[in-house]
């Protein structure tokens, strides 16, 4: 699926600019396009959340080794 980019103007009165088109590869050909795009957007938000938890909140930097500590540390950092 090719997603056409939306035009934008950097400043008022300037010419329209466009980004590169987006491409989605999927295996569920029977699903409607709107459901595919919604699933993609939800998945993208999940990935952004994981990245923020790891980099901003320091989730990937905890120095614990026991299973119980790993589970508790992750839950604690996300709750904070």
pLDDT digits (tens, 9 = 90+) for 20-71: 898 988 888 888 999 999 988 999 999 998 888 888 877 777 788 888 887 8
Tell me which DSSP letter residue 61 carries: G
Whole domain around residue 65: which residue ranges? 2-79
**Between residues 46 and 75, which one has the greater pLDDT?**
46
Tokens linked to 60: 């990937």
Q: Count structural domains, the chain.
A: 1
Per the confidence metrics, is the pTM higher than 0.85?
A: no
Rounded to whole angstroms, the Cα distance separating 28 from 39 reads: 12
On the CB side of 50, how many CA atoms lie within 13 Å of its CA?
A: 6
What's the rounded Cα separation, in Å, for the pair 41 and 27? 17
Q: What is the pLDDT of residue 19?
A: 87
């Amino acid at each position: 699926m090719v997603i056409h980019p939306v035009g934008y103007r950097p400043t008022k009165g300037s010419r329209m600019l466009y980004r590169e088109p987006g491409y989605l590869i999927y295996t569920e050909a029977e699903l409607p396009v709107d459901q595919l795009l919604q699933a993609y957007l939800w998945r993208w938000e999940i990935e952004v959340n994981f990245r923020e938890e790891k980099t901003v909140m320091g989730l990937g930097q905890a120095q614990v080794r026991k299973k119980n500590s790993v589970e508790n540390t992750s839950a604690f950092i996300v709750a904070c």
